[in-house]
Every structure is written in C-alpha cells, then in structure tokens.
C-alpha cells in the first residue's frame, strides 16, 4: 500500500489518538496497486483524497475528532475518512502577519490560569506556515483571526481537561504512548525510522508527538471514567453491520508480479526498438521457464519501479490495470507464468501469486471492529455533554474587548473560510 504523507500527517497521528481509536473502515486499503508509478496501472486512476492540514499540537480538538468517519456508519450518524497525504521536503515560509498584540497580553483566564497572546501565537503560526506564500499579508491576517478563535477555544478546553485529569489522578505510562504510536504505525504500514524522518523533515520532534499522544490517552481514560455505560448489544452491532454492508464486499483480487521491458525511446526506429524489447522479454521468459528466480530476474531487468520489490505489484482488483495486462493476470492460476504480454508501456511477463475470489466479510469476522466503532460513538456523544458541563462550571474570563465575538475579523466576500477538520487514521479491513 502506498502511504502518502504531507504536512497534515501530524494530524493523522494525533487526531487518531484523540478520536478514541476512531472507527475502522472495512475497505481494504490495499485495493490499489502498491506503486502508482507502475506502468501497468491505469494512468487515469483518481488520486487519493488529501486531509486538511491540522496541527499536531492541538489535543484540545478532541471533541471534534471524536466523530465517527463517514465511510463507516452507525445507526445514528455517519462521518468522513480520507487517506493521509505526501510529505513536503521542507516547511514553507509563513506569510507575513503583522500583529500589534503584545505576546505577554492575557488572551483569557481559565480558573485563575492565564493563557497569553504569545502562547496562542505559538499554536497559530505553525498553521500559517503550512500555507506558505499562498496568502497575501491581508488574507493571512484574516486567517489568523479565524484560527485564533478556534485555537483559543481548544486551549481553554485543554486546560479544563488537564484539570479534570489531575483531579481524577489519571496517568499514562511511556509504554502506553509507545504502544499507541506502534498501533498507528502498523495500520499505516510505516516504520518508526520513516516516521522520525518525516517528522524531522517537517521540523517536528518525536518527543513532542509522544507528549501530545500521552495527553490524548489521558483524555480517553478520563472519558471512560465518566461514561455512564459501555454496554453494546447485538441489535446495535447487527444494525451497524447492515448499514455498512457495502464496505464488507471485497471484489475479486489478484496478487501478481511482473517484469516490464520498455522499448528504447532513444532509438529513432520505433519498430526496431519494439522488436528488441520484445526479443529481450522472450529471452527472459525462457530463463524463467528454465528455473531462474522471478524476483531476481525482475530486480536485474525490469523497467518498472516495482523491480525493487522483485516485480511485486501487491493485490489489485479489476479496473486498476490496463486491459491487456488485467485480462492475462486474472486468467492465470497462482504460480503460473504468462507469455510475453504487450501493452502501451512495453512488454510484460506476469506471474500470479494469489487469486482471491469476491467475498462478503461475515459479521462474526468484523464484530470486534463494529463493537469498537459503536463504543467510540458513545464516547463522542457523551463527550459533547461532558465538555459543555466542565465549561459551564469553569471560570472563563476574557479581558475587555477580547471576547470571542469581538475578536472575530470578518472575512471579505468570496474569501475561503477556515474550518476545523480532524480526520482519523484509515485502517485496513480485517484479514
């Protein structure tokens, strides 16, 4: 599975932790070919959706993050779920934002504890930096005004949650945090070294991420101590399964490897280039039929990026490969070699490793995921009430002129509006 990562990837990790281990989509994330640069793959295949950029430093976004993804419905309410996006090589420069606010000024006082404008800016500026030079200074100021209200609300809630965590004596161990990160990395098919490299490229730090995930685990424990009931009955589970039935329909799939020989594009004689490429492919096929190792031959000869994996394309369903390639791949039995197959990309030798027939995943197999999904929804719904309760009981004091309504800068007509979007991590279907 190809994992794309962008600046928004930090949101994937932290929001996934905040979302109480958000509900699992049933669709197999490996439905697409592992390398979209594979020449056999259809070039018109749509790109994966990209999540909105959300900072990793906002654990107070928990109430929003606790929503159920739209790709997995509960009888009460559906919610959305995209894939994470590709990392950028470096952090873009933030747009010029002029602020006359003193960083030591008080933005709000929560139960006697102040949150300053400087602390607020420290949360906002990384978000603006992700927008880079896309915004003019005037538009950047407008975005900052919008983000200020959202971020301040999050910081107030974070302060209140921290107080409740301390009052309840809730703690989290380092092994809890490491375990949570391990779970998320496993679901994304990512190693810790890759994750750390991605963080470094984005100016982030693993210790910061651990701190934020530790907080969200504490918040989860807090909600579980307050949740009136965790009971889930079979009626709810069956209803959730029926609502998501289409998610459990797995199409026919093939796992195949291939060797691609491309015609030499530097040869002015196109026909000669094609003849030479075909002849090379036929000679390699003879070697394979004589006992040569397919993966080794692919690594040494294939002109496809999959050569590094011994030609392995992973699992793919019908409609993902160009027609001649697909027709042959789905006709082969596991272990069989194809003849030389010509496509618009060149000449292929295909070997099928696995052929999975279409199936409907039975309820018994996905029951644990459905139970977790329903419990997550119970937590999310309860959290709204709990959030309102602790806010109503708190002393939240704004300095004159800094009330939320007074600080909101109106957007110009036609300007984009910032919305808070926190997306949970996609999880592959059950095996």
Domain boundary at 328, 357, 386, which? 357
In a domain, residue 197? The reply is yes
**DSSP bridge pairs for 108:** 115
- Whether residue 223 contacts residue 20, with contact meaning beta carbons closer than 8 Å, is answered with yes
What mean pLDDT is predicted for residues 380-399?
Answer: 94
In a domain, residue 3? The reply is no
In a domain, residue 234? The reply is yes
Joined together, the tokens standing for residue 259 give: 């060797």
In which element (H, E) is residue 349 found? strand 346-356
Angstrom distance (rounded) from CA 290 to CA 335 = 15
Do residue 186 and residue 314 come from a single domain?
Answer: no
pLDDT recorded at residue 124: 85
pLDDT of 8 higher than 70: no
User: What mean pLDDT is reported for the chain?
Assistant: 76
Helix, strand, coil % (nearest 5) of the chain?
A: 50, 10, 40
CA distance from start to end of the chain = 15
More confident residue, 39 or 34: 39
pLDDT of 231 higher than 70: yes
Do residue 225 and residue 330 come from a single domain?
Answer: no
pLDDT recorded at residue 386: 95
Nearest to 341 by CA among 258, 271, 235, 410: 258
Domain containing residue 313: 252-357
pLDDT band at 101 (very low <50, low <70, confident <90, very high): low
Q: What is the pLDDT of residues 186-228, one digit of tens each?
A: 888 888 988 888 888 877 788 989 999 999 999 999 999 999 8
pLDDT recorded at residue 34: 41
Q: Which residues contact 128 (CB under 8 A, 6 or more apart)?
A: 94, 95, 97, 135, 140, 143, 144, 147
Do residue 85 and residue 115 come from a single domain?
Answer: yes
Q: What is the pLDDT of residues 343-373, one digit of tens each?
A: 999 999 999 999 999 999 999 999 999 999 9
pLDDT recorded at residue 280: 97
More confident residue, 155 or 100: 155
Q: Which residues contact 84 (CB under 8 A, 6 or more apart)?
A: 3, 4, 5, 6, 8, 9, 12, 51, 188, 425, 426
Do residue 292 and residue 237 come from a single domain?
Answer: no
pLDDT band at 40 (very low <50, low <70, confident <90, very high): low
pLDDT band at 11 (very low <50, low <70, confident <90, very high): very low
Do residue 202 and residue 83 come from a single domain?
Answer: yes
pLDDT of 420 higher than 60: no
How many angstroms separate the Cα of 227 from the Cα of each of 158, 215, 256, 382, 383? 19, 18, 48, 7, 9
CATH number at residue 174: 1.10.4030.10
Angstrom distance (rounded) from CA 170 to CA 167 = 8
More confident residue, 57 or 223: 223
Q: Which residues contact 163 (CB under 8 A, 6 or more apart)?
A: 111
pLDDT band at 272 (very low <50, low <70, confident <90, very high): very high
Show the DSSP H helices in 53-173 as ranges. Answer: 62-65, 117-131, 137-168
pLDDT recorded at residue 406: 59
Joined together, the tokens standing for residue 386 give: 């709990």
pLDDT of 99 higher than 70: no
pLDDT recorded at residue 160: 96
**DSSP bridge pairs for 254:** 316, 355
CATH number at residue 324: 3.10.50.40
Lowest mean pLDDT among 93-107, 152-166, 411-425: 411-425
pLDDT recorded at residue 42: 63
pLDDT recorded at residue 174: 93
More confident residue, 92 or 1: 92
pLDDT recorded at residue 15: 40
Angstrom distance (rounded) from CA 15 to CA 136 = 29
Do residue 66 and residue 185 come from a single domain?
Answer: yes
pLDDT band at 133 (very low <50, low <70, confident <90, very high): low
More confident residue, 39 or 317: 317
Angle between helices 9-18 and 206-226 (to 10 degrees): 30
What mean pLDDT is predicted for residues 234-241?
Answer: 92
In a domain, residue 264? The reply is yes
In a domain, residue 150? The reply is yes
Q: Which residues contact 272 (CB under 8 A, 6 or more apart)?
A: none
Domain boundary at 357, 381, 396, which? 357
Lowest mean pLDDT among 37-41, 111-115, 285-289: 37-41
pLDDT of 103 higher than 50: yes
DSSP-based three-state secondary structure for 346: strand
Half-sphere exposure of 382 (CA within 13 A, CB side): 19
- Whether residue 10 contacts residue 55, with contact meaning beta carbons closer than 8 Å, is answered with yes
Which range, 32-41, 384-393, 417-426, is most confident?
384-393
In a domain, residue 165? The reply is yes
Do residue 196 and residue 344 come from a single domain?
Answer: no
Angstrom distance (rounded) from CA 105 to CA 102 = 5
The β-bridge relationship of strands 253-261 and 312-317 is antiparallel
- Whether residue 427 contacts residue 69, with contact meaning beta carbons closer than 8 Å, is answered with no
Return the number of other C-beta atoms located less than 10 Å from residue 27's C-beta.
20
pLDDT band at 275 (very low <50, low <70, confident <90, very high): very high
* Residue showing tokens 């030499």: 264
Do residue 79 and residue 201 come from a single domain?
Answer: yes
Do residue 175 and residue 279 come from a single domain?
Answer: no
- Whether residue 151 contacts residue 120, with contact meaning beta carbons closer than 8 Å, is answered with yes
- Whether residue 132 contacts residue 92, with contact meaning beta carbons closer than 8 Å, is answered with yes
For 160, counting Cβ atoms within 10 Å of its Cβ (0-12 exposed, 13-18 middle, 19+ buried), the class is: buried
The β-bridge relationship of strands 113-116 and 106-110 is antiparallel
What is the value of pTM for the model shown? 0.55
Do residue 217 and residue 143 come from a single domain?
Answer: yes
Q: What is the pLDDT of residues 61-90, one digit of tens each?
A: 333 333 333 345 554 433 333 333 333 334
Do residue 368 and residue 323 come from a single domain?
Answer: no
Do residue 230 and residue 327 come from a single domain?
Answer: no
pLDDT recorded at residue 26: 37
pLDDT recorded at residue 62: 38
In a domain, residue 425? The reply is no
In which element (H, E) is residue 197 found? helix 192-201
Percentage of the chain exceeding pLDDT 70: 70
pLDDT of 144 higher than 60: yes
What mean pLDDT is predicted for residues 308-314?
Answer: 94
In a domain, residue 429? The reply is no
pLDDT recorded at residue 39: 54
Angstrom distance (rounded) from CA 252 to CA 265 = 36
Number of domains present in the structure of the chain:
2
Angstrom distance (rounded) from CA 105 to CA 241 = 52
């Amino acid at each position: 599975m190809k994992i794309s990562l962008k600046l928004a990837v930090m949101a994937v990790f932290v929001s996934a932790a905040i979302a109480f281990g958000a509900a699992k989509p049933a669709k197999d994330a490996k439905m697409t070919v592992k390398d979209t640069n594979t020449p056999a793959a259809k070039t018109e295949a749509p790109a994966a959706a990209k999540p909105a950029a959300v900072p990793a430093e906002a654990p107070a976004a928990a109430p929003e993050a606790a929503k159920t993804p739209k790709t997995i419905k509960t009888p009460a309410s559906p919610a959305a779920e995209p894939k994470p996006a590709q990392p950028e090589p470096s952090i873009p420069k933030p747009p010029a934002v002029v602020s006359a606010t003193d960083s030591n000024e008080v933005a709000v006082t929560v139960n006697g504890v102040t949150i300053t404008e400087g602390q607020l800016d420290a949360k906002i500026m990384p978000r603006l930096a992700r927008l880079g030079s896309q915004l003019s200074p005037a538009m950047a100021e407008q975005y900052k005004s919008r983000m200020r209200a959202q971020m301040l609300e999050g910081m107030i809630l974070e302060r209140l949650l921290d107080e409740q965590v301390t009052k309840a004596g809730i703690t989290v161990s380092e092994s809890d945090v490491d375990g949570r990160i391990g779970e998320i990395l496993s679901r994304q098919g990512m190693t810790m070294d890759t994750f750390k490299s991605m963080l470094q490229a984005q100016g982030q730090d693993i210790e910061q991420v651990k701190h934020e995930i530790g907080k969200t685990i504490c918040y989860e424990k807090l909600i579980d101590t307050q949740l009136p009931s965790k009971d889930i009955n079979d009626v709810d589970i069956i209803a959730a399964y029926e609502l998501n039935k289409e998610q459990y329909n797995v199409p026919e799939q093939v796992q195949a490897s291939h060797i691609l020989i491309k015609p030499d594009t530097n040869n002015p004689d196109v026909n000669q280039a094609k003849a030479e490429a075909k002849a090379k492919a036929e000679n390699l096929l003879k070697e394979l039929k004589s006992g040569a190792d397919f993966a080794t031959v692919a690594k040494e000869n294939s002109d496809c990026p999959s050569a590094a994996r011994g030609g392995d394309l992973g699992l793919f369903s019908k409609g993902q490969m160009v027609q001649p390639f697909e027709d042959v791949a789905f006709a082969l039995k596991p272990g069989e070699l194809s003849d030389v197959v010509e496509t618009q990309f060149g000449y292929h030798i295909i070997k099928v490793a696995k052929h999975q027939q279409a199936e409907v995943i039975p309820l018994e197999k996905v029951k644990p995921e459905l139970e977790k999904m329903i419990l997550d929804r119970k937590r999310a719904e309860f959290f709204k009430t709990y959030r309102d309760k602790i806010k109503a009981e708190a002393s939240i004091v704004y300095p004159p002129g800094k009330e939320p309504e007074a600080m909101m800068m109106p957007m110009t007509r036609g300007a984009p509006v910032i919305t808070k979007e926190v997306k949970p991590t996609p999880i592959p279907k059950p095996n």
